Chains A and B, each alone.
Chain A
Amino acid sequence: EDKVVQSPLSLVVHEGDTVTLNCSYEVTNFRSLLWYKQEKKAPTFLFMLTSSGIEKKSGRLSSILDKKELFSILNITATQTGDSAVYLCAVEAPNYGGSQGNLIFGKGTKLSVKP
């Protein structure tokens, strides 16, 4: 069965700390891995990763994918209270060729950043 596992499930840090969130997966027909940030509303897109070893960066956030070891990490440096959210990892694994939409989500990592 396809699955996506995130760790840790929750994390409490102080402003200025650096955090690393983990996502491992076992899926057939892998197409891409996505990271989302969810506060009290809809998930908002952070990164899409399709190739191994290429770091994607946006401000203090960065992410990398390892397709050989089947995992990805999301790094947040110099954390701020506004980074408090649930971070979701999802793997796109279409049921059949050409179809898109089947995102398999992990349970998320709840990050709390204290002042």
Chain B
Amino acid sequence: KAGVTQTPRYLIKTRGQQVTLSCSPISGHRSVSWYQQTPGQGLQFLFEYFSETQRNKGNFPGRFSGRQFSNSRSEMNVSTLELGDSALYLCASSPRLAGGSETQYFGPGTRLLVL
């Protein structure tokens, strides 16, 4: 099975711009979660999508949003970029078959640099 894929892998933007990142989960996986990783804060949960619905949200401002399509692919959008948004954005997928614990598999990430 192909792993989680994320595009683009690298991105440079300027302050005030917006950006859209894409994530394709492992085939058959219905849950997609997004994380932000920075040297100072480590890995922080952004949100989770399942069946095109946001099921869970971390503590990030409204400038961070996302959506999920019927094929489980997900996009994440950041508007009005700030310097502090420079980070590695990771997407993870899991089958979400039942209410129990399931491993999340991470994609390679999108490294965003805001100038």
Report which A residues bind B (CB closer than 8 A). 31-32, 34, 36, 41-45, 48, 50, 88, 90, 92, 94-95, 97-108
Q: Is the CB of B42 within 8 A of A99?
A: no
Number of interface residues of B (CB under 8 A): 29
Q: Is the CB of B43 within 8 A of A105?
A: yes
Q: Is the CB of A92 within 8 A of B101?
A: yes
Interface residues in B1-57 by Cβ distance below 8 A to A read 4, 31, 33, 35, 42-45, 47-48, 50, 55-57
For B45, the closest partner residue in chain A by CB is A102
Please tell me if B70 contacts chain A, counting CB pairs below 8 Å: no
Q: Which residues of A contact B81 (CB under 8 A)?
A: none
DSSP majority for the B interface?
strand
Q: Is the CB of A101 within 8 A of B99?
A: no
Q: Is the CB of A44 within 8 A of B106?
A: yes
State whether A98 and B108 are in contact (beta carbons under 8 Å apart), knowing that A42-B90, A105-B43, A108-B42 are contacts in the complex.
no
Q: Is the CB of A103 within 8 A of B42?
A: no
Interface residues in B60-88 by Cβ distance below 8 A to A read none
Interface residues in B90-110 by Cβ distance below 8 A to A read 90, 92, 94, 96, 99, 101-109
Report which B residues bind A (CB closer than 8 A). 4, 31, 33, 35, 42-45, 47-48, 50, 55-58, 90, 92, 94, 96, 99, 101-109
A108 to B31, CA, bound (A): 25
Top 5 A-B pairs, shortest CB-CB distance: A101-B48, A105-B43, A42-B106, A32-B101, A101-B33
Q: Which residues of A contact B44 (CB under 8 A)?
A: 105
Nearest CB in chain B: distance from A39 CB, A: 11
Q: Is the CB of B43 within 8 A of A94?
A: no
For B96, the closest partner residue in chain A by CB is A100
Q: Is the CB of A103 within 8 A of B109?
A: no
